[in-house]
Structure 1
């Protein structure tokens, strides 16, 4: 290493912070590959892929009443959960500046909806209440944070021009809420789309949604039936702009609560047994603190920490792969780059964005066997498609000179340099989401934290499951805090590099 290298590195970090951070993540992702099992275990994956392709082209379903009920359950779970979460999150957002509220919300939203479903199932059973609460609980925390961020971004000027004798609630409604109303509505709509995906995924743990029948069809090799479910789910997502009308929401909500499947009565004794006995190790219940601490230490060292390392490594590789896909895919849907072919690229990105990672991983698991490779591909395709979709919309709004270059030169010298800071920020924001999904993909056999959580639930080891969930939550909180800090640093250093005129 030459003496000038550290100075060049510091200058690069100061002048091109996005590229410096990209280089760091590339190195971490390459190092993480050594920790992951990327072996292809299937004997003839291309033959299986051909069968899946034929199934996609020949969708069919015989028992249409069952399919209609599963579709209705999927929408009802999502709609009821989002309704509850908007109200709860809206109230929490007003107190989000308080540290206990922020910490509680961060811990709650760090646990994936499927983990919440597995946890609630222990005392609520396979009921509608389990499905609704599994989505509503983390979404309430998500809404609290996002709503608070939207309120903080609004201009204080309207409040300053109002008469001071106005009531506080009235001032807030006519100033802060009025300014951020459309941003709030837009985010609620996006989160409802996410809730539909989450509702479908809950079928993988036994709830009666589309995901339950999708998993069954794939395991039985009935790819035509699985394709029928998948196409219906895509049509459901793609038609949101037409059937999700704001003026009809009250009617939708009432109908959704009425059509929910029957739930078993909630027994207070089951809940008390779960909270007071099931989630604590035997040594702690017996009052042997030394043995309990030894048990926790053994579990952390032998299982939780290695699984957490695998989860972080997988998320880093998936994050970098998502970034590479974004750079390759967004020109396909950007009009300045794709021209008349942009609608086709847009449809491809909607397809990738709408497909839940768990469904993609399940398909690739059938092709390549149980390793980290299906999880990486699934996470990269979904998140890369989502961010590429947003980048393409930004690219359509970029003002271009009349003599701007075309083709590859337009992409390399015009689009990428101008969009890269925004793409970097979105990737850092999605890192925490990718980590959550990396953990949950463990229920398909990938050795992340989710694999051990699912095994603990299957063995009715609630004490071990709670410990692993706490590790998962702590890991997500740490990554979220790190990504936010990096984003703040990038914004600060970018501002510092702009010359004052």
Structure 2
């Protein structure tokens, strides 16, 4: 418990030290009028034409379903050889780049097409699945494996010992990733793909908050009903998924023809500085130094500042939110309070950070505050939901206290290590999301990456994306070490 307390104190101190250096100014002088209009839109939502709403929802689901199916299959294969350092580095590299950045990259090759939408999710999710599936396999019993002959090949060992034990956890995790993919598919609309996010962004920019509210409610319903329309107990998922996949491929929008010459040019010419292509090593070195010290490092600093503030605020919000939705504090007689709290957590974890940030930008202006609030609210909703489930699985004494004593001396101390582990796990995600929020105008790495793509400076964009990926890999590695220290 001492290590947990010291770690929490260290993160809090770092966050406090970050405050003077972060851009936390409210630029909107009177946000109340905008808030009132947004509130009125939520109270009186309206929906776009049924054909537009249905088409955007179908494309959103189609991108997510095809991408998750492909990524889960590829991740399963990579998990088989995850002991290889090359595979681990490859998986870490592709998952370190956010889906929106992958979308911007593939858009230069495939345009605003279905290929771009699917690959933008499939590529990073493959790295995530590979890592998680490998970790799930490592947690399984070695007894069945020890019963095999020493001459048994690795593939047979995998399919006859590790996979049968791991399968239930893998299926459960794939369900969770599908929900994440729906959020990713939605925010791809912010770069022009025809998912729900495209119409959301348009409605917000035009001040049509009633229509934006209707679109958000449609997305909430989509997320909340997954267990009924997708993972149903009446019809086997093994029957439904192939049918849904076929329908998803049929529903994909048409993609333009991509010529091999354009792909080759992008990979061999566009993403490299001209000085390097001309063989001028001195000029190329000067170019990279300029990009690193004048662009990347200042943006990296802003990204780290905002992510650290968001991380600590997330932790504080989780400790505030989770008891209201848990049976450990509110038994059956308080089901109304618990039901309202769980609905709130569903909304918080379902709304992508990008949408939260977009709304806060309208209210508060283009500072770091919208990013911090958006990241903290979304991640607090997700971690609180997981902590509620964990707190309800603990067996408590019959004479346990109630109220505030129950919170401070019984439940929270017992779930606190798990809470810190979840927070550290989301740390890398918060870093990734902090970077991409720059697409909305916040001066993180994403701001300069998006600007580079708009200026057709693919060399600068790729360099900054690599910097972002290295940052994520470093934070992920540090987070794993800290989590390992907590478990000892």
Per the alignment, residue 28 of structure 1 pairs with: 14
Counterpart in the other structure of 2:284: 292
What corresponds to 1:353 in structure 2?
Answer: 349
Unaligned ranges ≥5, structure 2: 232-236
Corresponding residue of 2:360: 364
Superposed CA deviations along residues 148-193 of structure 1, whole A, max 9, x for unmatched, are: 1111110010122356676654443232111111100000000000
Name the residue aligned to 2:105.
119
In the TM superposition, 1:260-271 aligns within 5 A as 260-271=252-263
Which of 370, 389, 393 is the equivalent residue of 1:393? 389
Tell me the residue number matched to 1:160. Answer: 146
In 1, the alpha carbon distance for the partners of 2:37 and 2:451 equals 31
Q: Does structure 1 residue 445 correspond to structure 2 residue 441? A: yes
CA distance in 2: counterparts of 1:163 and 1:479, whole angstroms: 41
2:63 pairs with 1:77: yes
Partner Cα distance (1:100, 1:59) in 2: 51
Which string of whole-angstrom CA distances, capped at 9 and with x for unpartnered residues, describes residues 22-49 of structure 1? 1111111111112211111112212211
Comparing 45-54 with 207-216, which one deviates more in the overlay? Answer: 45-54
Shift of 1:62: 3.9
In 2, distance between residues paired with 1:47 and 1:379? 24
Give the Cα separation in 2 of the matches to 1:83 and 1:478. Answer: 28
TM-score after normalising by structure 2: 0.96
Matches within 5 A, 1:42-81: 42-81=28-67
Distance 1:302 1:185, change over 3 A: same
- Equivalent residue for 1:331, pick from 323, 327, 337: 323
Three-state SS of the structure 1 residue aligned to 2:21 is coil
Q: CA shift at 1:235, angstroms?
A: 0.3
Indicate whether 1:411 and 2:397 are aligned.
no
Once the 2 structures are TM-superposed, how far is the Cα of residue 233 of structure 1 from its aligned partner? Answer: 0.3
Check whether the contact 2:424–2:479 (CA below 8 A) recurs between aligned residues.
Answer: yes
Is 1:97 the counterpart of 2:93? The answer is no
Alignment TM-score, normalising by the size of structure 1: 0.94
Structure 1 residue 64, shift from structure 2 partner: 1.4
1:304-334 deviation line (CA, Å, top 9, x unaligned) = 0011111111111000000000100000111
Q: Distance in 2 between matches of 1:138 and 1:414?
A: 39
- CA RMSD of superposed structures (Å): 1.2
Counterpart position of 2:172: 186
Q: How does 1:102-501 map to 2 (within 5 A)?
A: 102-162=88-148, 168-245=154-231, 246=237, 247-339=239-331, 340=334, 341-492=337-488
CA distance in 2, matches of 1:192, 1:458: 31
- Match of 1:470, SS? helix
**Partners of 1:48 and 1:197 in 2: CA distance:** 25
Deviates more, 1:280-289 or 1:471-480: 280-289
List per-residue Cα deviations over 1:68-107 (Å, max 9, x = no partner): 1111100000001111111111111111110111111111
What residue ranges of structure 1 are gaps of 5+ in the alignment? 1-14, 493-501
What CA distance in whole angstroms lies between the structure 2 residues aligned with 1:44 and 1:302?
Answer: 34
